[in-house]
Chains A and B, each alone.
Chain A
Amino acid sequence: MTRGAGRALRMSYLVASVAGVGFFVMSVALLGVWPKRVLEAETRAMAPEHPLGLSVSELRGRAIYGREGCGYCHTQQIRYLHADMARFGAPTLAWETRLDYPHLWGTRRIGPDLSREAQTRSADWHFAHLFSPRAIVPESVMPAYKGLFEGAATEPRQEARDLVAYLDSLGHAREIAGPEGEARARAGCECGDDEMAQMAFAGPVNAHPARARRGDAAPALPATVNLAAGQVLYADHCATCHGASGAGDGVAAAMLLPRPSNLAEHDYTVERLADALWNGVAGTAMPAWREYSPHDLAAIAQVVRGFRSGGVEAPLPEGLVALGERVYAANCVQCHGERGAGNGPAAAELKVAPTNFQRQRPSLAEGLRALRNGVDGTPMAPWTTRLNEAELLAAAHYVRGLYAGDAAR
């Protein structure tokens, strides 16, 4: 090699090395450092004044979530896409991820996104589902995490409690920041005419179709139904808890508190069923079924109404009618309301809404069971220490008389 050629080669290698390193540095600067600066500025501008942090238990749960690879089937990132927003809620903002060391965004969804899981399902639903996913969702492909329990879903170890605490924290910081938090984020967002950035505030923060919503309006269910389709839907989605014949004895029933309703022991108005199916039953493991159309829900409601054996109850002995009214007025109105509509003065305070007897009529036996034993997992306590047998019987009869039937509205 001549000296000139050698120098040219040395120059070309120098240029190559600088160029190679330069390309790499450029990629880190453009796709790492610069986005980081933008996102940090966004976080400062859009976060609520005192955003919620994670508790020690939630942090431990987060580590378990990472350890078990939950993020490889469940994303924690709602994209700026209408399909994502309709299913899960508001797109994930930068400030919501500010404590994620490391991030758990994920790149695969076998199960649904969990960004808005907080207050979407009850703790015992989660315990039962983690212990035995198919006891709740027969077609689920989720692994069972029996190692987090002492042999039963009702015996969660601390790890299970931590994990569920973590799941129940997902999206909580944004929800608890409330409308003023959203307003602050919107003001801090340099959205201007950026349609995509504005999507972050376009819909409800949590749009999870399974989230129980107390007191929301439910759609009117169509009158004509496909009973066969309803039976399939019931078997696929309801039977694990409520049992194949509606007796509240499905495989998951023993894992849940309050226990799933015994559908065969109640008369329900159509509105009552529409409400329970569309809104779920807050405070219980009963989720909302908004993924399904009113047609599907109507078919399920028809199946549920078919479980009631419809036996005629023995008439109330004369003389007890007045007693029932007195007992009810003295003991039950606080929660169940004067006319039994579940709207007593204390009702709003209770985690599980008191039964609305106008829309739901328990059988005499079911009513007596509730009065004698209370309803575990709800504020309904046993009344045997305060009421005698005649009073219990009278009250059980009385509430049945409050039922308004389908013509109520």
Chain B
Amino acid sequence: MEVSAPLRAASRVDTKLVHAHGVAAIVTLLLSVTFGIIVSLELLYPDWGANAAWLSWGRLRYAHTQGIMFGWLGNAFFAFLYHAVPVLSGRPVTSARLGRWMFGLWNFAAVGPGWVLLLAGFSQPLEWAEFPLAIDAVVVVALVLAVVQFVPPFFSRGLEHLYVSSWYIIGGLIFTLFAYPMGNFVPELVPGASGAAFSGLWIHDAVGLFVTPLALAIIYFVIPAATRRPIYSHFLSMLGFWLLFFLYPLNGTHHYVFSVIPMSAQVGAITASVLLGVDVIIVVTNLLLSLRGSGLFPRDIGLRFAAMSTVFYLIVSMQGSVQALMSVNQTVHFSDWVIGHSHLAMLGFATFAGAAGLTHVWQRIPTARYNARALNHGYWLLVVGVVLMVTDLTAAGLVEGRLWQSGAPWLDSVRAARPYWIIRSLSAIPLAGGFIAILVGLVTGPKGAGLASVEASVGLEPVAAIAPRLAVVATEAS
């Protein structure tokens, strides 16, 4: 049967691995969110977990963030990559067998045991690096395997021109491998203030070289694939990419402003943080112009997640540029403002990008169940939840920061935070509801309904025409 080039590429998608990572992503997401909800409630009911060490605030706090980064975002990115890499490169990933090993390693040798060890009291007290060293070693192996799995397809026929998503995928995977040891191993060998300087590199690179490039790879992929229009400007795409890889790693020290770390490093990092905002304006401008005609809330759910992710990316990056400035930083540092900021990044920007990638590829698995209604509800619940939580925590941070500067008794800042913490815990209702709705959206509903929804959202005939053939090639491939 005659099939078009994109279809031949699609036929190389290993839908089983997409499916497995997709389900693992949602399951680990729900667990990580549960940890987060308990942690938020423990600030309101601090005696709640007193008799079980593994339920105590500190350990669950470790499990929350590690689960979000490795369990949820890691799996969601891999699910997307198993779809996107063959489509972008026109060749299958390196090895399906390697894929099964990576899946097992990531979920059953890193995230799962990592959680058990954290809760049992084996951890390292380093931000975004809480899994103990044994797990860190597994993660490094898995990251190497991810490079082996996803990078060679882009070059196996020699050098070709790459689409911007491909750049982000290659850059993200390789540089995560470089950056990971800075936060996970170096501070064990380099003490105190010097270790903190390296720690700062990873705290920022975890977001900047792992989460952001892969999230942007999704957005750059989903927008043209769903709108069926090319990206607005490839020049701006590449300008944004190179500025990101130049500026993001130079941000690390902005986590330790007014510390003993040399002031020129602090000032350099603050300058890079401000310039990063310029880069993000370039990237987002390009993305929003690519979305023109589709509106900010397109009918296609994947596209809609991508559009909102872009908006969150703009807001969180502008916020990041501003809060790095010394005059702002001295007030908001150490406060709930920063917790709001990190949730806007991970729960707003990155999670919406992950959901965009996941729903987009799910629509294109003919054998996957798909419930458009549930996904639609999930989207709106998440938007409400993120906005409520981040607004609330930002305000809380300003109140705390002012009280700390005023010299008021310490307890006043704890007392003042309480109403904001209540609202933050309440924001868990729409958020948890949204995530459950997404799970429902991806495991209920008729098989193949995703393709129908793509067709409905674009209103074009070709989808109906290619669907049976896609189903055929997908079966042949599996």
- A-side residues, CB < 8 A to B, are 6, 9-10, 13, 19-21, 23-24, 26-28, 30-32, 34-36, 38-40, 42, 65-73, 75, 77, 79-81, 83-84, 86-87, 91-94, 96-105, 107-112, 133-134, 137, 139-147, 194, 196, 200, 236, 291-292
User: Which residue in B253, B260, B405 is a CB contact (below 8 Å) of A93?
Assistant: B260
**Residue with the highest number of chain A CB atoms closer than 10 Å, among B51, B175, B253, B411:** B411
A residues less than 8 Å from B245 (CB atoms): 20, 23-24
CA gap between A91 and B257 in the complex, in Å: 12
In the complex, 25 of the A-B residue pairs with CB atoms within 8 angstroms, ordered by the A residue number, are A6-B159, A20-B174, A20-B245, A27-B250, A31-B200, A32-B198, A34-B262, A36-B198, A39-B197, A42-B260, A69-B58, A77-B256, A79-B330, A92-B260, A100-B195, A102-B191, A103-B191, A103-B199, A108-B335, A141-B44, A143-B50, A146-B51, A196-B263, A200-B260, A291-B410
B182 close to chain A: CB less than 8 A: yes
- B-side residues, CB < 8 A to A, are 42-44, 46-47, 49-51, 53, 56-59, 61-62, 121-127, 158-161, 171, 174-175, 178-179, 182, 186-201, 203, 242, 245-246, 249-250, 252-253, 255-263, 265, 268-269, 330, 333-335, 338-339, 404-405, 407-411, 414-415, 417
B269 — nearest CB in chain A belongs to which residue?
A31
**Residue with the highest number of chain A CB atoms closer than 10 Å, among B253, B258, B417:** B258
Interface contact B262-A77, CB-CB below 8 Å? no
A residues less than 8 Å from B258 (CB atoms): 79-81, 84
**Residue with the highest number of chain B CB atoms closer than 10 Å, among A32, A70, A102, A291:** A102
Interface contact B50-A146, CB-CB below 8 Å? yes
B65 — nearest CB in chain A belongs to which residue?
A72
A35-B161 CB under 8 A given contacts A69-B59, A140-B414: no
Interface contact B57-A69, CB-CB below 8 Å? yes
* Interface of chain B: mostly helix, strand, loop or mixed: helix
B residues less than 8 Å from A70 (CB atoms): 58
Interface contact A110-B262, CB-CB below 8 Å? no
B258 — nearest CB in chain A belongs to which residue?
A79
User: Which residue in A86, A110, A144, A194 is a CB contact (below 8 Å) of B50?
Assistant: A144
A residues less than 8 Å from B407 (CB atoms): 83, 86-87, 291
Interface contact A99-B262, CB-CB below 8 Å? no
Interface contact B265-A35, CB-CB below 8 Å? yes
The number of A-B residue pairs with CB atoms under 8 Å apart is: 232
A residues less than 8 Å from B269 (CB atoms): 31
CA gap between A99 and B242 in the complex, in Å: 38
A residues less than 8 Å from B57 (CB atoms): 69, 73, 143
User: Which residue in B43, B193, B249 is a CB contact (below 8 Å) of A27?
Assistant: B249
Interface contact A27-B252, CB-CB below 8 Å? yes
A residues less than 8 Å from B257 (CB atoms): 79
Minimum Cβ distance to chain B for residue A18 (Å): 12
A32 — nearest CB in chain B belongs to which residue?
B198
A residues less than 8 Å from B53 (CB atoms): 68, 145, 147
B residues less than 8 Å from A99 (CB atoms): 191-192
CA gap between A38 and B197 in the complex, in Å: 11
